[in-house]
Amino acid sequence: MQGAQGRILLDRKRAIITVDSGIRDPKRRRFVLAHELGHLILHVNAQQQLFNCDIDAFLDWQGRRPEEGHANIFAANLLMPPMLFGAYFERKKFSIANLQSASDRFMTSLMSTSIQFTQHGNYPIAVVFSIGGTVRWAAMSNDFPNSERPLHWIPYMSPVPPGSVAHDVFASGKAPKEAAFVDSAEWFAEDYNLRFHEDLDLYEVCHYYSTFNGVLSYIYGK
């Protein structure tokens, strides 16, 4: 397959799903297949009969290509059922190590596991994914950093803030294991609710993908 990781051709009676044979990671293959099943379940009556899902489709968690965002959420809930996922994190503290353990348990990528954690985990958190110093998506718990005045706005395709840990990771190519303090105005400068959080202390810890120069930032309070 050229230019796609998964593809589905469908009509109202049948469908053909194809997964790129070049994807060797079983976690990745499972998610691509679940994503295409999402198109089958959710979009069988859509006018569009062919979904050619490239790498950007699997990065679209915020609905810029609505059908792709829906298929990603379907795949996450199919592979990581919310009740089972939430139960897994009972009595567990937030850490990248615990997210990686959940990734192994549910046979899902760290990225999709992290997004599911924002919705069904046990700790309010924001997760931001950047490539080459540019934000590609951001996901937040509904109650991050609290339920009264949640923060939720980080602009798509904006530069990684110069005062963030992610900025340092891109510069050095290394992600420190320990979380570091980050000013809330770095990531949330354009969020309307930031004015209600002048005394908010946030911390950031990152996971670095050296193969494609990507950074997952985990931002949370203490």
pLDDT tens-digit map of 142-166: 999 887 889 999 998 999 999 999 9
Please report, for residues 64, 133, 135, 166, 183, the alpha-carbon distance to residue 158 in angstroms, rounded to integers and kept in the order given: 15, 9, 5, 13, 17
Domain at 124-222: CATH architecture: 2-Layer Sandwich (3.30)
Please report, for residues 32, 63, 162, 188, 206, the alpha-carbon distance to residue 38 in angstroms, rounded to integers and kept in the order given: 10, 14, 38, 32, 30
Domain boundaries, given as residue ranges, for the chain: 6-79, 81-123, 124-222
Partners of 57 in the beta sheet? Answer: none
What is the pTM assigned to this prediction? 0.90
Per-residue pLDDT reduced to its tens digit, 74-130:
999 999 999 999 999 998 989 999 999 999 999 999 999 999 999 999 999 999 999
